Amino acid sequence: MLESFLQNLINALQWGSFYALIALGYTLVYGVLTLINFAHGDIFMVGAYIAFFAASFALTTLGLSGWAALALTIPITMILTAMVGVTLERIAYRPLRRKGANRLYVVITALMCGLILEHSNLAILGASRKAFPTLIDLKIYHIGGVTITNLNIAVILVTSLVFIMLHKIVTKTRVGMAMRAISYDKFAVPLMGIPLDNIIVITFILGSGLAGLAGLMFAMSYPVLEPYMGALIGWKAFIAAVVGGIGDIRGAFLGGFLLGAVEIMVVAFFPSTLRDLIAFTVLLVILTLRPTGLFGIAKTTKI
Amino acid sequence: MQRTMRCLIFTGLALLLAVPAIATDTIKIGFNIPMTGDIPKVGESSKLSAEMLKADINGNGGLEVGGKKYMLDFVYEDNEAKAESAVTTALKLIERDQVLAMIGPNSSKQAVPAGQVADDNHTVMVSPWSTNPDTTFDRPWVFRAAFLDPFQGPVAVNFAVKQFNAKTAAVLYDLSNDYSKGLAEIFRDVFEKKMGAKTVLAFESHGTKDQDFSAQLTKIISTNPDFIFLPDNYNQVALIVKQAHQQGYKGQFMGSDAWGSSELMTLCGDDCKGLYFSTHYAAAGATGATKTFIDRYTKKYGYVPDDVAALTWDATRIVLKAIQDTNGLTGKLKKDRKAIRKAMSNIPSFKGITGDMSFDEQGDPVKCAVVVRISDKGEFEFTESICPQ
């Protein structure tokens, strides 16, 4: 019993890591722009595909070894995915912001951007799935009755490191201070000489870069890629961000792990047919008790 | 301006009316197949196989029905591997495209609801790949080319008990898939009847879009079963088998016919080698007409045809045979569809490339299943053939 609990704890940490990484992207953009970037799950999908092409290129065309290919794939994936996010901001969100459109229209635009990403992928690459190449050899460790792989450990560690770094950036640096300032007052901040657009671009670079990293690690852990892979996990990560208190980085991190843990533990101790029913009831109860999420602060206008 | 518009509309209408008159010399057959969505390879196999058949027959001047040659016209519509899209696709084919008969949908998730539409609209439907009994049950207009799950379930049980010397089993299935759920339940009932109560140690489910199965697998592995029965689509099989190995599971898996896609090995790789599944035909080591089909398909498209390709070939040929058996089409859609249905149920025995088959009163074929082993080269090797008693 204890063994299977510990095993499920590791399962939950691994699965929650992906929710946490994606939720961090949602919450960053929301915190700065109060925009729910519904395209984020699909940016994650694009990240996984970019990682696929980068890894295949490094392995076969350049003929690198697994570790070297990985070292090359990480920056390429993060940079290219960040560029996708920034492009979306440039061509879709910024013109709307300039025209002073209601936030509702921006959210709808984000949803549409997500669908465009999915379907352009379908149109360009076709519907058949891609198998992600093996970059590093999987090592399986047995500790007590618990099995853990080197990939599990890497995913959990990287997610935690990313969270700490992001937290430092937002709370300790000037850029972070500017981000927080924009979230307080979008109109007064440019008057103080803070370049609004640049800060927003930096936010999108951070958020989408993380989605790229999540895409890469996801593809390594679950090596079957398809155009719709980002939709469901993206929505669930959004729920995680809301439960944690959207706009707060600690909230997104904890919310992600909480959702992962609830999903895994429900399967572990109840019939698996009831998973989504019980998991989302739990989240609903949390939101009923704390409508602003675990770390959220009540604001008068929210979507 | 207004006059030109009116003129255009009238010409358009006239053309629309003229089309059926021009098209009398073709036979239109609709394909309700998944070209995008969860199982795109299944739709692709169906389409390529049908295209090959069409090229064969049209190349020979068309299909002869009652002394008259007809050219074949195949209409392919994508059902996105969704139940609701399969229904609208079926309606579109039957009403707008006015097809004589419909091939597909392939998996039971779409074939069960689409079968209702075909039956209500009095159009013959032949599902190549659906194995769930509900597809054809009490539907005189619906047929299939595949065997049924109540037959496939016992095949899997008997084979696993004999081959793995298994006394216990565990099952992991897709809750939102009629095929997977139905087969999992049949398997559980048959296994427990044979080996005693509570011998299926774990009976776990997951959702169609799931990518992480670690919690279910932890639960299954902790009960230490002799093997895991996995009636799942090939894309999920790849993830589940890999994750089970990552959790240190070294035992056997037994699969079902939904494994048999040519994409399984590109997604699953070494992890799936040495596993067994029950299916409709084995490509490696085939003989006769089956081998000719496999060789031609492989040469034309560059990969070995999977069971869907072979079953689509058979399903389409059965329909064409029935059309020939009507001894002449009248050109009246309702009458012709009725004649085809009658001819379908009168086919005594059909020599297909997936085996000989005859239809029972439910429109289901009586035919054999094979169990294949995935070899170290990634080929599906024939292991055993099991026929209905």
pLDDT at B135 over 60: yes
Residues whose CB falls within 8 Å of the CB of residue B158, separated by 6 or more in sequence, listed in order: B194, B386
pLDDT at B200 over 90: yes
The residue of chain A with its CA nearest to that of B214 is A11
> Are B350 and B304 members of one domain?
yes
CA B274 to CA B253: how far, in whole Å? 9
> Are B126 and B88 members of one domain?
yes
B215 to A138: CB separation less than 8 angstroms, yes or no: no
A272 to B216: CB separation less than 8 angstroms, yes or no: yes
Q: What is the structure's pLDDT at A219?
A: 95
pLDDT at B3 over 70: no
Mean pLDDT of B321-331: 89
End-to-end distance of chain A based on CA atoms, in angstroms?
Answer: 43
pLDDT at B7 over 90: no
B263 to A129: CB separation less than 8 angstroms, yes or no: yes
Q: Is residue A127 part of a domain?
A: yes
Query: pLDDT tens digits for B139-191?
Result: 999 999 999 889 999 999 999 999 999 999 999 999 988 889 999 999 999 99
Give me chain A's average pLDDT, please.
90
Q: Is residue B386 part of a domain?
A: no
A222 to B41: CB separation less than 8 angstroms, yes or no: no
The residue of chain A with its CA nearest to that of B237 is A224
> Are B159 and B270 members of one domain?
yes
Q: What is the structure's pLDDT at A279?
A: 86
> Would the ipTM clear 0.90, i.e. be above it?
no
User: Number of folded domains in chain B?
Assistant: 2
pLDDT at A299 over 90: no
Q: What is the structure's pLDDT at B9?
A: 60
Residue in A132, A147, A267 to test binding to B, most B beta-carbons within 10 Å: A267
- Chain A positions in Cβ-Cβ contact with residue B239 (cut-off 8 Å): 222, 224
Q: What is the structure's pLDDT at B24?
A: 53
Q: Is residue A252 part of a domain?
A: no
What is the distance in angstroms between the Cα of B211 and the nearest Cα belonging to chain A? 7
Q: Domain span at residue B224?
A: 149-279
> Are B263 and B303 members of one domain?
no
- Is it true that the peptide bond before B113 is cis, omega within 30 degrees of 0? no
Question: Which of B279, B297, B327 delimits the end of a domain?
Answer: B279
> Are B169 and B247 members of one domain?
yes
B218 to A229: CB separation less than 8 angstroms, yes or no: no
Q: Is residue B1 part of a domain?
A: no
| Among B35, B214, B222, beta carbon nearest to A11 | B214
Residues of B with CB under 8 A from a CB of A: 35-38, 40-41, 44, 175, 204-207, 209, 211-212, 214-216, 218-219, 222, 235, 238-239, 242, 246-248, 263, 266-267, 269
CA A59 to CA A62: how far, in whole Å? 6
What does the DSSP 8-state code read for residue A142?
A: E
Q: What is the structure's pLDDT at A138?
A: 87
pLDDT band at B16 (very low <50, low <70, confident <90, very high): low
Q: Is residue A265 part of a domain?
A: no
Q: Is residue B204 part of a domain?
A: yes
Query: pLDDT tens digits for A27-80?
Result: 999 988 888 899 999 999 999 999 999 999 999 988 888 899 999 999 999 999
> Are B268 and B237 members of one domain?
yes
Mean pLDDT of A89-100: 91
> Are B190 and B133 members of one domain?
no
Q: What is the DSSP string of B207-258?
A: -TT----HHHHHHHHHT--SEEEE---HHHHHHHHHHHHHTT--SEEEE-GG
Q: Domain span at residue A65?
A: 2-228
* CATH number for the domain harbouring residue B261: 3.40.50.2300
Question: Which of B227, B248, B279 delimits the end of a domain?
Answer: B279
The answer to whether A75 and A146 have CB atoms below 8 angstroms apart is no
Give me chain B's average pLDDT, please.
89
User: Number of folded domains in chain A?
Assistant: 1
* Helical segments of chain B, H only: 2-22, 40-59, 83-91, 108-120, 149-163, 178-195, 214-222, 234-246, 264-268, 288-301, 307-325, 333-346
Q: Is residue A288 part of a domain?
A: no
> Are B134 and B60 members of one domain?
yes
- Chain A positions in Cβ-Cβ contact with residue B176 (cut-off 8 Å): none
The helix-helix angle for A2-33 and A40-56 (nearest 10°) equals 110
The answer to whether A293 and A302 have CB atoms below 8 angstroms apart is no
Give, in order, the Cα–Cα distances in Å from A251 to each of A31, A294, A295, B48.
11, 6, 5, 51
Q: What is the structure's pLDDT at A298?
A: 62
B215 to A228: CB separation less than 8 angstroms, yes or no: no
The residue of chain A with its CA nearest to that of B204 is A272
- Chain A positions in Cβ-Cβ contact with residue B206 (cut-off 8 Å): 272
CA A202 to CA A180: how far, in whole Å? 13
The answer to whether B186 and B219 have CB atoms below 8 angstroms apart is no
Which helix (H) or strand (E) segment holds residue A242: the answer is: helix A229-244
Q: What is the structure's pLDDT at B21?
A: 43
- Chain B positions in Cβ-Cβ contact with residue A228 (cut-off 8 Å): 209
Q: Is residue A188 part of a domain?
A: yes
Question: Which of B255, B279, B303 delimits the end of a domain?
Answer: B279
> Are B31 and B134 members of one domain?
yes
Query: pLDDT tens digits for A126-185?
Result: 878 899 999 988 888 988 888 899 999 999 999 999 999 999 999 999 999 999 888 888
Who wins on pLDDT, B284 or A266?
A266
A8 to B218: CB separation less than 8 angstroms, yes or no: yes
What torsion, rounded to 10 degrees, do the Cα atoms B67, B69, B344, B330 define? -70
pLDDT band at B20 (very low <50, low <70, confident <90, very high): very low
pLDDT at A270 over 50: yes
pLDDT band at A301 (very low <50, low <70, confident <90, very high): very low
pLDDT at B30 over 80: yes
Q: Is residue B326 part of a domain?
A: yes
> Are B310 and B242 members of one domain?
no
Q: Is residue A238 part of a domain?
A: no
> Are B162 and B142 members of one domain?
no
> Are B142 and B159 members of one domain?
no
Q: Is residue B97 part of a domain?
A: yes
Which helix (H) or strand (E) segment holds residue B32: the answer is: strand B26-33
Q: What is the structure's pLDDT at A103?
A: 84
The helix-helix angle for A2-33 and A249-269 (nearest 10°) equals 150
pTM for the predicted model, two decimal places = 0.84
Q: Is residue A274 part of a domain?
A: no
CA A121 to CA B78: how far, in whole Å? 17
Residues whose CB falls within 8 Å of the CB of residue B36, separated by 6 or more in sequence, listed in order: A122, A127, B43, B78, B80, B81
Q: Which residues of A99-129 are buried (b: 16+ CB within 10 A; e: fewer)?
A: eeeebeebeebbeebbeebbeebbeebebbb
CA B285 to CA B307: how far, in whole Å? 14
Mean pLDDT of A81-98: 94
Mean pLDDT of B84-97: 94
